[in-house]
Amino acid sequence: MTDILFANNAASTLAADINNSQTTLTVQSADQDEFPAPTGNKYFLVTLEDSGGNREIVKCTGRTTNVLTIVRGQDGTVARAFISGDAVSMRMTKAGIEAIQADNTNVAAAGAAMAGNNLSDLGNIATAVANLGLTIGSQVQAFSAVLAATTASFTSALKAKLDGIEPGADVTDTANVTAAGALMDSEVDADIKTLTLPANTTISAAGAALIDDADAAAQRATLALGTSATYDITDGSSYWNGVPVVRSDGVMEIGRYIDFHNSDTDVSDYAFRIETGGGNTKLVANPGSGSAGYFYFSNGPDDVAVADGGTGRGSHTAYGVICGGTTATGAQQSVAGLGAAGQPLVSNGAGALPSFQHLKGVQAWVKFDDAGVISASENVTSVTDSGTGDFTINLAITMANANYVVAGSIQKAAELDNVLSVDGQTTTTVGIAVADVGAGTRDDPDYIFVAIIGERA
């Protein structure tokens, strides 16, 4: 592979004179990057030309900024002196073209073939194969018309399957059919042959177990129904303490008790019981069984009306306040919402539920000094000191409107002519101004006391 480098239209002029023996030259700094920067064995050819048309071709083996390291008198030219301003350029030269011409060494190094050894130039197939060093039959497959006509590959796995079939095998052979777990036609009853089966004929394990039982007793055991019992459905005494039965008149007799247990394994004692006797029916709780020992009515997610034995509500708001109901079907009702922290429950008069409300009155207060530092407060987040006698109180709450009352006083030792006034107010801020009446200027007192009176939003 050749080491010569090229660049498009690389040209400049000498920045300094050179004699006929110097091995470096300097081009203009503005043009330096137009020339390659060779490394290793790389190089490029440069043509020097003076104003009289005299030329010298040099070989550049390195470039540092605008200084080129050169070998003089290349491509049949003679080294000569040049002056500043003479032309320096990369041109197409005879040596450059010859450097990139293909030869046997470069082609071989590139892993290619010369025209004299190119297979496309060989008219004899045998010679081409010999040049490749291949052996027909062991290294390459010889042409086969059979293989050429085959549309799919015959794999080793397919061959193994064919090898497993015995010679002359008959798939209808009785032994082969039996070995496959099937039945010969002669082994199938004629009635079964004409039977039309549904799409799904699978019998579950439970169904199969029931069919396999020898008698009714075994089937009852499979179904966990217990033992057989016979009752005279016309004689009440025979079923009074027995299993539920339906009499001939259609009345279902259960017995004296219906017991409810805490779990399916707790059969020794009941949690709740419905019991009848002596003309009365009662509900009995058994706290000793672990039950809480009380009854309540529920209709799922719906409210149970008072007329049906309920309270008129199926649930209540957590932490809510319960009030009396206003209708026969609503014995109880919840106050809407839970209110905010600190809100009292206020009556709204007859015919209306009470509600959580902020009372009208003092909603916020604060004591602060002349730097706006808060000593104590309620519902005040901060005080902004905007200058002498100029403060803004920032509320932690929102007032219902800006028409609230601001009450305040000031404290300053040995001075009685300071006054406090409101200097603008919004629903969340109050401006406070303090002035020295005698001096006619604003003044900072020692402490300021302010109360916000009104209605909170």
Residue with tokens 């009306």: 305
- Locate 309 and state its tokens: 């034995």
Whether 11-100 shares its CATH topology with 361-454 is answered no
For 361-454, CATH gives: 2.60.40
Per-residue model confidence (pLDDT) at position 18: 97
- Mean pLDDT computed over 432-454: 93
Cα-Cα-Cα-Cα torsion 160, 162, 166, 172, nearest 10 degrees, comes to 130
Give percent above pLDDT 70 in the chain.
74
Report pLDDT for 386. Answer: 95
Provide the b/e sequence for 408-425 (b: ≥16 CB within 10 Å).
bebebeeeeebebeeeeb
pLDDT tens profile 308-321: 656 666 666 777 77
Please report the pLDDT score of residue 180 as a whole number. 78
pLDDT band for position 137 (50/70/90)? Answer: confident
pLDDT bracket for residue 280 (50, 70, 90):
confident
CA distance 38 to 68: 10
pLDDT at 222: 87
pLDDT, one tens digit per residue, over 391-429 is 999 999 999 999 999 999 999 987 778 899 999 999 999
Average pLDDT, the chain: 80
For residue 375, which phi and psi values (nearest 5 degrees)? -90, -40
Rounded to an integer, the average pLDDT of 231-246 is: 48
Residue 288 confidence (pLDDT): 59
The pTM for the full model equals 0.33
Mean per-residue pLDDT, 145-154: 73
User: 251-276 pLDDT, tens per residue?
Assistant: 766 666 777 776 666 655 677 778 87
Q: How confident is the model at residue 8 (pLDDT cuts 50, 70, 90)?
A: very high
Domain boundaries, the chain: 11-100, 361-454
Q: What pLDDT score does 109 carry?
A: 59
Q: Output 130 or 424, whichever has higher pLDDT.
A: 424
CATH of 11-100, one of 1.10.3470, 2.40.10, 2.40.160, 3.10.50: 2.40.10
Q: In this structure, how many other beta carbons lie within 10 angstroms of the beta carbon of residue 84?
A: 12
More confident residue, 182 or 447: 447
173-193 CB burial, b ≥16 within 10 A, e <16: eeeebeeeeeeeeeeeeeeee
**CA–CA gap between residue 279 and residue 274 (Å, rounded):** 13
Average pLDDT in the 19-46 region? 96
